[in-house]
Amino acid sequence: MSALLRTEGICKAFGGVQALDGCTVEVAAGSITGLIGPNGSGKTTLFNVITGYDRPDAGEVWYSGAKITGSSPQRVFAAGIGRTFQLTRIFSRLTVLENMIVAAQHGSGELRNPFARAGGPADRRRAMELLEFTGIAGHAGKLAGTLSYGQRKLLELSYVLVADPAIVLLDEPAGGVNPSLINQLAQRIKELNADGKTFLIVEHNMEFVMDLCHHIAVLDSGTVVATGPPAAVRNDPRVLDAYLGTAEDDDERAS
């Protein structure tokens, strides 16, 4: 499979902290690719660089054969790249359906105008179809602020899908979500992928990642230290050292 999304040599520092240091990652078209690593390894910063929220100090971002480095978040989304955030972004005082209609009207993948919420029949129909797909249509009339954290994650995925992006970047979709909703989320991702949707997923839940992803890249201190299929990455000594080293060291001290 060819690369739909590629970062080449991305560097990004914040003050004296080097968040990304020559980071190169490829996401093949039609794949589910995982991006893992310890806290502070640069995963969310890489998402922010790809989607235009941070400008890299060096390196390039390529999407569908075109350079998109430094493009605004709106232009990145319009090109076909959708994303969710580590902390969900919803209008808690609007209903679930109203949140979806705002997204449908803007077509931007973000909820920005809480007053433009009436929506026409087409907007409402599309919104309900996506809520049915993610399994939260029964909550359409509820205030979004009353949803559980897992349901908010599903709502965020729903409104990112409104504009039908070619690739979706998910930032810790399983974080803080109960097991039944994690399974529901994983199933929806698999179904979307079977229909041709590409995913890049940042996640700390290793069971979720290993079961879902076709390919995994491992970040440590802003640099990719290992890539490959889940079985190979799971047993890579560099991954065990970078990602699990702290836990192993704690075990040694406790013994």
Please report, in tens digits, the pLDDT of each residue of the chain (255 residues total). 579 999 999 999 999 899 999 999 999 999 999 999 888 899 999 999 999 999 999 999 999 999 999 999 989 988 999 988 866 678 888 999 988 888 766 554 444 444 444 556 777 888 899 999 888 999 999 999 999 888 888 898 888 888 889 999 999 888 778 888 888 889 999 999 999 999 999 988 888 999 999 999 999 989 999 999 998 988 888 777 765 554 434 333 333
CA gyration radius, the chain: 18
Whole-number Å distance between alpha carbons of 92 and 96: 9
Domain boundaries, the chain: 1-80+165-255, 88-162
- At the topology level, CATH places domain 1-80+165-255 in Rossmann fold (3.40.50)
* Amino acid at site 86: Q
Instruction: Find how far residue 151's CA is from the centre of its chain.
Output: 16
pTM here is: 0.85
